[in-house]
């Protein structure tokens, strides 16, 4: 899920229902609402960043494993060449 979709769900969840025509919020209510939205939005961003980091590290690990396999194969070839050269 994208960050935009998660944020949109958060906004929909926090926004007052359509039945409520309006009203007055105290300064403390507004501060609490802003704090909740900022905290939840930060958590959404953090979760997505962790997911992207994990995916990037998995790709890097796969590349390193492939490189290690290539080096092992090259080492085997060099060993065979060395054995052949000694005979």
| Domains held by the chain: number | 1
- Which of these, 38, 42, 39, 62, lies nearest to 50 by C-alpha position? 42
Q: What is the pLDDT of residues 21-80, one digit of tens each?
A: 556 777 777 778 888 888 888 899 999 999 999 999 999 999 999 999 999 999 999 999
- The answer to whether the pTM exceeds 0.75 is no
pLDDT at residue 46, rounded to an integer:
94
Mean pLDDT of 4-17: 77
- Residue 41: how many other CB atoms lie within 10 Å: 15
Q: Is the pLDDT assigned to residue 15 strictly greater than 60?
A: yes
Domain that holds residue 64: 3-86
Query: Residue 46: what are its φ and ψ, rounded to 5°?
Result: -65, -45
CB 14 within 8 A of CB 6: no
Helix (H, G, I), strand (E, B) or coil at 1: coil
């Amino acid at each position: 899920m994208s960050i935009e979709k998660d944020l949109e769900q958060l906004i929909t969840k926090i926004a007052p229902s359509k039945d409520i025509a309006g009203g007055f919020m105290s300064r403390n209510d507004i501060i609490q609402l802003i704090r909740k939205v900022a905290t939840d939005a930060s958590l959404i961003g953090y979760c997505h960043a962790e997911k992207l980091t994990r995916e990037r590290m998995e790709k890097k690990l796969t590349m390193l494993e492939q490189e290690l396999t290539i080096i092992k194969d090259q080492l085997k070839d060099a060993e065979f060449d060395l054995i052949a050269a000694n005979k």
